[in-house]
Structure 1
Amino acid sequence: EVYVRRLCQEKVRAGSESLRLRNLPLFPVLAAETVLVFNGQILRKPVNANQAADMLRQLSGHEHQVLSAVAVALGNRTEVALSVSKVRFAKLSEDRISRYLRSGEYAGKAGAYAMQGLAGAFVEHLAGSYSGVMGLPLSETVELLQRFDYPTP
């Protein structure tokens, strides 16, 4: 939790600094960061298909956590919210993993999958936020924007 919050705060600070350096009008800056945790270890984005396959084998038949932090900054004020979700994968055969890897969808995805893509079919159970697993927890985002009196749906 500390790690994902810190990364998110660094992103929102960088965005706010970019506004300041460009002399742009003061607007809310939003940033998000998502990490996947399995057995106490953060699973990052795989560097290749072999690493992606290893990650999917680890997740196969097991539950993992997806932590998504979202931050809003306006001027000197920053607020951060955290979404924690639990995802359980079905048991994945080697053939199923191989077919998924051929899609290339794993590239650039923490834990080698995107819930909103083909790997959504791997998910047996989700407890928490679907949008948080995708990378931007919408409920928390709206809540933060409301704290800044920013119009929301």
Structure 2
Amino acid sequence: MVADRRDSLYEGVNSDGNRVRRPKSPHLTIYKFRLSMLMSIGNRMAGVVSTVGLGMFAFWLRGLARGGATYRKSNALLCHPVARLTLAGWCAASIYHFVVGLRHLIWDDAHRLEKTQINRDGPRSLVMTLMITTIVLGSLTMRARRRKGAES
């Protein structure tokens, strides 16, 4: 087995003007996997899911704007159980992205930057997301059931 002899360091200058050698591109195998990494990856994924969900919302708005048969078709499609599950995922992802965004604003103000605080805030963000999502989806479900009962 031949060892890779390429230099993985580059020479640069730090803020004091002294020359330093730093890694060119540290790989994930160098870092210990931490909760903050998982939360960051989850936040990025939630942002993507939120964007896809906005496409579904735009589809529904298009049907609403065109009215009549187009609205009935888009509404029927979005009332399918798979679409409802997708919309619930969109709701949860958007709320998570918002909650974690608030946490980032707190960090930008140089608060709660200690490792122990970050490790406590991660699970709290998940719990807060679950609570808000449950409240939002629960209230929407109760409202739909009341409306269905009033129509009967």
TM-score normalised to the size of structure 1?
A: 0.29
TM-score normalised to the size of structure 2?
A: 0.29
Larger RCO, structures 1/2 (Cα 8 Å, 6+ apart): 1
